[in-house]
Amino acid sequence: MGDIREYQLVLADGEIFEGEGIGADPTDGIASGEVVFNTVLSGYQEVITDPSYAGQIITFTYPHIGNCGVNATDDEANRPHCRGVIIRDLARRHSNWRAEDHLDGFLRGHGVAGIAGIDTRRLTRHIRDSGAMPGAFGTADAASLQAAAQADPGTAGMDLVSVVTTDEPYTIGTGPRKVVAYDLGVKTTMLRHLGEMATVTVVPADTPAVEVLAVNPDGVFLSNGPGDPEEAGSIVTELPKLIGEVPIFGICLGHQVLSLALGGKTFKMKFGHHGGNVPVQDSRTGKVEITSQNHNFAVEVGSVPNVTETHVCLNDGALEGLVHNELPVFSVQYHPEAGPGPHDSRYLFDEFAELIDTHAGNGSLSGISAAAPSEGSA
């Protein structure tokens, strides 16, 4: 017990929490970022490696984290992009046949700082009531930590996509179709699913539309990613050149930039949706999907012209999905690939495949309808 690093976590509004350091030592003794909470009960490794958390510190509401260790297969990116993790209790000893390392070693190895021993329920309630806000933790005194928290830019108005996107295009998957995927911060599980239906060329976020069209793709995919969609770079201005030319499927940030490109509005939510238990209803069938979600920004209900809003969050009425009324374009706010999370919505990848096939088959520009989708497979 000799090497306990006594830390404090201080939010921008001055709330102070006591804990102890885990993972890497923060650079300059202070880790800062926008503090959000995630309510998943399993899948901490996937959450920590999800690039959408760039700029953020992740609070896990479930108290025991690290029980299963970490393994190479479950990474959602080649390294974590989050600014830190806040947990109640880090497992000293993990136990799972798939484990290759323990979480603490993983965090240290990737330079991610963390704080444990926190009353995460108090913190979660505070964020729920006051909204997501920057925070800072480390060995520094409370005043320095608060100053650091206040100095943190948060995520609104931030272009974080350029930080996480791939530098060079690469190809993945062996499926029969040809898809170009914009990497706005893409998760590995997403590419695994796309790769089953298509041969996927993953391109940097700032790839011009003309270059995409030059390879004559069957479809274009817009990935998830971190930060404010209005600051996501050139993608919003490039997208209008692709819409109508080729079937498009967007997820999460991809859904948001697509909505902006179609003329919709986005806004920053109070504390967002981060978890694996969010009920979303498909308004065409009435069926409910339990979804995996991770977003702080959302598309305003009713703001996107000429689309049918196909999916709605039953918890708060947030817009979760839309289909263009004329063009082969659809998108969802949640994560059908689910890494981590329930597999209820994986049928959307099949719908993308069908949309591509229909589009290729009849040459028509309206491959997907606002009517009932095909039977999902779960």
Partner 1 sequence: MPKRTDIESILIIGSGPIVIGQACEFDYSGTQACRVLKEEGFRVILANSNPATIMTDPDFADATYVEPLDVAVLEKIIEKEQPDAVLPTLGGQTGLNLAMELQEAGILDRLGVELIGADAEAIETAEDREKFKVAMLEIGLEVARSGIAHDMDEARRVVQQVGLPIIIRPAYILGGRGTGMAHTMEEFEKVAAYGIECSPIDEILIEESIAGWKEDELEVMRDNADNCVIICSIENFDPMGVHTGDSITVAPAQTLTDVEYQQMRDASFACIRRVGVETGGSNVQWAVHPDNGRQVIIEMNPRVSRSSALASKATGFPIAKIAAKLAVGYTLDEIPNDITKKTPASFEPSIDYVVTKIPRWAFEKFPGTSGVLGTSMQSVGEVMAIGRTFPESLQKALRSLEQGRHGLNGDAGEVAFDELDDASLLSAAAIATPDRPFQLEALLRRGVSIDKVYEATGVDPWFLDQMLMITEERAHLEEIGMAGINRRGWKRAKQLGFSDAQLAYLWKTDEATVRAGRLAEGVKTTFKTVDTCAAEFEATTPYHYSTYEDTDEVRPGENERVIILGSGPNRIGQGIEFDYCCVHASFALRDAGYETVMVNCNPETVSTDYDTSDRLYFEPLTYEDVMDVIASEDPLGVIVSLGGQTPLKLADRLPPELVLGTSPASIDLAEDREQWNALCARLEIPQPAGGTAVNIEQALEITARIDYPALVRPSYVLGGRAMEIVYDDDHLTRAMAELAGFGSLGKEGGLSAERPVLVDRFLEDATEVDVDAIRDHTGAKVIGAVMEHVEEAGVHSGDSACSIPPNRLSDETVAVIEDYTFKIADALKVKGLINVQYAVKANQVFVIEANPRASRTVPFVAKATGVPLAKVASRVMVGATLEELRVEGLLRDPVEGDHIAVKEAVLPFNRFPEADAVLGPEMRSTGEVMGIDLTPGLAFVKSQLSAGTQLPEAGTIFMSLADRDKAVGITAAEIFADLGFSIAATSGTAATLREAGIHVAVDVAKLDEVAGVDAVQLIQDGKVQMVINSPRGRGSRTDGEHIRSAAGLANVALLTTGAAAVAAANGMRDWQTHPLAVRSLQEYHAGVSASALGGS
- Residues with a known catalytic role: 252, 335, 337
Stretch that binds partner 1, among 142-150, 202-210, 232-240, 308-316 (CB under 8 A): 308-316
Task: Check binding of 321 to partner 1 (CB under 8 A).
Answer: no
Contact by Cβ (8 Å): 256, 299: yes
Task: Check binding of 263 to partner 1 (CB under 8 A).
Answer: no
Task: Check binding of 269 to partner 1 (CB under 8 A).
Answer: no
Task: Check binding of 5 to partner 1 (CB under 8 A).
Answer: no
Contact by Cβ (8 Å): 267, 302: no
> Considering only CA atoms, which of 154, 183, 146, 143 is closest in space to residue 167?
183
Stretch that binds partner 1, among 48-56, 175-183, 228-236, 272-280 (CB under 8 A): 272-280
Structure tokens at 60: 């896990």
Task: Check binding of 288 to partner 1 (CB under 8 A).
Answer: yes
- SS3 of residue 147 by DSSP: helix
Helix-helix angle 188-197:347-362, to 10 degrees: 40
Task: Check binding of 371 to partner 1 (CB under 8 A).
Answer: no
List the x/- string, 19-48, binding to partner 1 by CB under 8 A: ------------------x-xxxxx-xx--
Distances (CA, A) of 27 to 78, 84, 139, 332: 21, 11, 11, 37
Among 64, 142, 151, 215, binds partner 1 (CB under 8 A): 64
Contact by Cβ (8 Å): 264, 305: yes
Task: Considering the complex, state which of residue 17 and residue 182 has its C-beta at the smaller distance from partner 1.
Answer: 17
Among 109, 342, 350, 370, binds partner 1 (CB under 8 A): 342
Least distance from C-beta 106 to partner 1, angstroms? 14
Least distance from C-beta 102 to partner 1, angstroms? 11
The whole-angstrom separation of Cα 216 and Cα 245 is 10
Q: Judging by beta carbons within 10 Å of its beta carbon (0-12, 13-18, 19+), is residue 303 exposed, middle or buried?
A: middle
Phi/psi class of residue 84: alpha, beta or left (left: φ > 0; alpha: ψ in -120 to 50)? left
Residues engaged in binding partner 1 (CB under 8 A): 1, 17-18, 37, 39-43, 45-46, 61-64, 67-68, 71, 73-74, 88-89, 91-98, 119-122, 124-125, 128, 275-279, 281, 286-288, 290, 314-316, 338-343, 378
